[in-house]
Structure 1
Amino acid sequence: MDRRSFLKASAFGGSAAAATALAAPAIAQGKRTLTMVCTWPRGLAGVWDSVERVANSISAATDGQVTLDVKAAGELVGALEVFDAVTSGQADMYHGADYYFVGQHPAFAYFTAVPFGMTAPEIMTWYYGQDGMALHHELGEVFGIKSFLAGQTGAQGGGWYRKEIKSADDFKGLKFRMPGLGGQALSKLGASVQNIPGGEIYQALSSGALDGTEWIGPWSDEKLGLQEVCDYYYPAGFHEPGAALSIACNLDVFNELTPSQQKAIELAGADAHQANYAQFIANNGPALKRLIDGGTQVREFSDDVWDAFGRASVELLDSYTSDELFKKIHDSAQASMKASSAWLALSDSAYSAQRNRVLAAM
C-alpha cells in the first residue's frame, strides 16, 4: 500500500497533517545533526543506556559526520508522541519500544513483544537470521520510517501488585499498567489496563491511580522504586518473554544519508541490542536478591492464571489476522518461534536443567 494513501485514510493522517515540521537536519560542511526523540526519561536504568550507546556508536562509526541531538521524553514531545513526531518530520529519529505504537498498526508489537511470543534468543534468530528485519522495514515504510532493533531487556517480570494474585478472577477491576498487546490480552480478564510512560509509573502507584504495574525487571524496577509501593513481585510474566527496543529514522532523512551512514545506524542498533541484553541479564539477579532481602514477596502465578493468560493471548492475536500485513508478520514470527524453541528445548533448556541439578547436588 502506498504510505501516503495509507496515512490519508488513517486516523494518524490527520495528526500528521496538523503537525508542525521543524527544519531539515542541520547540515554544515558535510556534517549532519539528527534530532532523536525518546520514549524514556533521561537516565532511566537500562533503556537510557541503550539510547546513549546508539548515539555514541553512530557518531564514532561516522567519524562525527552524523551526530544525534537526543531529546528525552517531554523535552521536545511527550513519551508516547515520538512516533508521530518522526513520521511528520518534527523529529528525525526516535528510540522507544514499538509496541507503544500498536494504535498505528498492531503488528508493531512484534518488534517489541507479543503475549506468549518469543524469548530474546528467538527474537534475535527471527530478526537477524530470518526475515524479521525485512518485515520491520516493510511495516515501517508504510508510515515513512526506517526501523531497526536497538535494545533488548530479556524476559520481563509479571509485575508488581499490592495484593497477591491467587486466581484469574483477581484481575477483574484491577487498575494495571501494561502496554502493547499484552495489555489488551489482560483486559480480556477484566483488568482496567492503562498505558502509562515509565517515568510516570511510580507516582501513579503512589496516588492509587494504579493497583499494580509491570515495568521491566528487578534491576530497572528497583531503580524506579516499585518495591516501595508494592509488596508482591512476580518474576515470570506472559506479556514480554523477550522485549526489544527500536530506533526509527524518518525515511526521507534516512534516504538522504550515504550508504555508509545508513549502515552505521543499522549496526549501532544491532550493537545496542546485544549489549543491552547482556546489561539487563547481568544486573537482574543481584537486584532480585536485594529486593528479597529488603522484604519483597516473590510469587509465581498459578497454572490456572497462566491458562487464562494463554487463552486471552491466542484469542487476541487471532483477532488481528484479518489484516494482511499483521498476518504476514504474525505467521513469520510464529513459524520461527516454533522452529527455534523445538531445538532450544532439546539443547539449551535440557542442558541448563541438568547443569543446575548436578551442581546443586555437589
Structure 2
Amino acid sequence: MTIKTTRRAALAAIGAAPAAALSLPAIAQEKIEWRMVTSWPKNLPGPGITAQRLADAITAMSGGRLTVKLYAAGEIVPALEVFDAIAGGTAQMGHTASLFWGGKVPAAPLFTAGPFGLTPLEHITWIDHGGGQEIWDKLYEPFDIKPLMAGNTGFQMGGWFKEEVMGLDDLKGLRIRMPGLGGEVMRRLGAAPVTLPPGDILPALQSGAIDATEFLGPSSDLAMGFYRAAKFYYTPGWHEPNGTGEALISKSALAALPADLQAIVMSACGSENIRALGEAEWLNAARLKVLVEEKGVELRDFPRDIIAAARAAAVETLNDLAQRDDLTAQAVDSFRGASKHLADWSTQSVQKFLAART
C-alpha cells in the first residue's frame, strides 16, 4: 500500500512538472520598456515608418516582454540630438542616420553613405562581410552605443533646386541643405551647405533661407512636399548612393537584457533593414511618376562638369578625413577597400545588365 501510494504520488509529480516548469518562468518574467527616439517626423514614409515597424516588431517578437515605445523627433529630444540621448541614457534606443554625427565621430557619415561610394547592396555587403560592422562598433564604443543597420531608403536623388543648375558656376554661394560628406563636397565646389533636421527643411525652402535641398528618394520627398517650393529634381544622388537607417542601442541596456531578448533586438534590426530597402525601391518607382506626371516636377541630370568636379572633390574629402585620427583612417581605408573590391563585379553584373536591358 505504501509502495503504490508512493509510486502514484511520484507519477503525479512527474506529470505536473512540465506544467509547473512552463508556468513558473512566465510568472517571474520581468516586463521591460524601452524608449526609442528618432530623427524623423512621425510615420514619415521611409525612415519614420521603418522606425515604428522596428519598435512594433521587437515588442511583438518578445511577446510583450520588451516593449519599445517610439518618440518622434521633438517629442523627447530634437532630431539631431538622438545620439546624445542614447549616450546619456535618456533613451535606450534610437533610429536615425549616421551622417548627422560627423562632428562627434568624423567617420560616422560613411555608415550612411559616402559620395560616389557604395550602392545599397554593396553597403550591406561591406558592413556584414567586409569588416564594416567591426569598425562601426569601435567608433561608437566610447559612447556606450551599439550601432546597427536598421532600414534603407535605397538610392538617393540628387536634390531639389529652385533654379535650374547649368554648370559649376551656378553652385557658387548656393545655400543647400546637405549634411554629411556630400555637404563637404558641395562646400569645395563653392556652395554653402547647411544641416537642418527633416522637419525644418520645407519651411526653409519656402522662406528662401535655402535655395536647394537633398533628402531621400521620391517616396519620402513627395511626403515632405518639397515640390511645393522647388520644381527641379536632380539626379544622380552622387552624394548618397545609399540610404542606411541607423539603429543606436545603449550597450548597457542591451547587455542587461536576457540573451533571447538581445537576439530579438538584433534580428529585428536586420529584418527591417532588408524589408525597408525592398519597400523603398517599390515606392520610389511609383512616387517618381506622381511627382513628374501629377506635380509638374522637372527631372534634370547634373551637368557633366559638376559630376566631374564633385568626383574629384570627393577623393580630396576622403583623403582629408583619413588624416583626422587612426581609427577614422581605418574606416576610410575599409570603405575604400570595399568599393575597390566590389567595383569590378558590380560593373560586370549590374551595370552591364542595366545597360543591356535599357
After TM superposition, the score normalised by the length of structure 2 is 0.89
Per the alignment, residue 117 of structure 2 pairs with 117
SS in 2 for 1:347: helix
1:182 aligns to 2:185 (yes or no): no
Contact 2:163 2:232 in 1 (8 A): yes
Per the alignment, residue 295 of structure 1 pairs with 296
SS in 2 for 1:165: coil
Per the alignment, residue 135 of structure 1 pairs with 135
Q: Shift in Å at residue 54 of structure 1?
A: 1.0
1:78 aligns to 2:101 (yes or no): no
Contact 1:217 1:235 in 2 (8 A): no
Per the alignment, residue 276 of structure 1 pairs with 276
1:335-358 per-residue CA deviation (whole Å, 9 max, x = no partner) reads 1121112112112221222123xx
CA distance in 2, matches of 1:130, 1:67: 33
SS in 2 for 1:36: strand
Per the alignment, residue 25 of structure 2 pairs with none
Per the alignment, residue 326 of structure 2 pairs with 324
RMSD: 1.3
1:137-182 per-residue CA deviation (whole Å, 9 max, x = no partner) reads 1212121101111011111111000111111121111111001111
Per the alignment, residue 344 of structure 1 pairs with 346
Identical positions, percent: 37
Output the amino acid matched with 1:321: A
Matched ranges for 1:150-299 at <5 A? 150-293=150-293, 294-299=295-300
Per the alignment, residue 24 of structure 1 pairs with none
Q: Shift in Å at residue 29 of structure 1?
A: 4.7
Output the amino acid matched with 2:42: R
Q: Which moved more, 1:122-131 or 1:156-165?
A: 122-131
1:80-99 per-residue CA deviation (whole Å, 9 max, x = no partner) reads 01111110112111100011
Output the amino acid matched with 2:229: V
CA distance in 2, matches of 1:90, 1:290: 40
CA distance in 2, matches of 1:175, 1:33: 42
Contact 1:168 1:304 in 2 (8 A): yes
Per the alignment, residue 50 of structure 1 pairs with 50
Q: Shift in Å at residue 194 of structure 1?
A: 0.9
Output the amino acid matched with 1:193: P
CA distance in 2, matches of 1:352, 1:238: 18
Contact 2:39 2:79 in 1 (8 A): yes
SS in 2 for 1:233: strand
Contact 2:154 2:277 in 1 (8 A): yes
CA distance in 1, matches of 2:122, 2:135: 16
Instruction: Give the counterpart of 1:334 among 330, 333, 336.
Output: 336
Q: Shift in Å at residue 186 of structure 1?
A: 0.8
SS in 2 for 1:106: coil
Contact 2:148 2:248 in 1 (8 A): yes
Per the alignment, residue 308 of structure 2 pairs with 307
Q: Shift in Å at residue 136 of structure 1?
A: 1.7
Q: Shift in Å at residue 283 of structure 1?
A: 1.0
Output the amino acid matched with 2:146: K
Per the alignment, residue 64 of structure 1 pairs with 64
Q: Shift in Å at residue 198 of structure 1?
A: 0.9
Output the amino acid matched with 1:44: L
Contact 1:122 1:341 in 2 (8 A): no
CA distance in 2, matches of 1:292, 1:36: 36
Per the alignment, residue 15 of structure 2 pairs with none
Per the alignment, residue 104 of structure 1 pairs with 104
SS in 2 for 1:95: strand
Contact 1:46 1:220 in 2 (8 A): yes
CA distance in 2, matches of 1:251, 1:70: 19
Aligned residues: 329
Contact 1:111 1:245 in 2 (8 A): no
CA distance in 2, matches of 1:279, 1:165: 31
SS in 2 for 1:114: coil
SS in 2 for 1:33: strand
Contact 2:321 2:332 in 1 (8 A): no
Q: Shift in Å at residue 275 of structure 1?
A: 0.9
CA distance in 2, matches of 1:307, 1:352: 22
Per the alignment, residue 36 of structure 2 pairs with 36
CA distance in 1, matches of 2:188, 2:260: 47
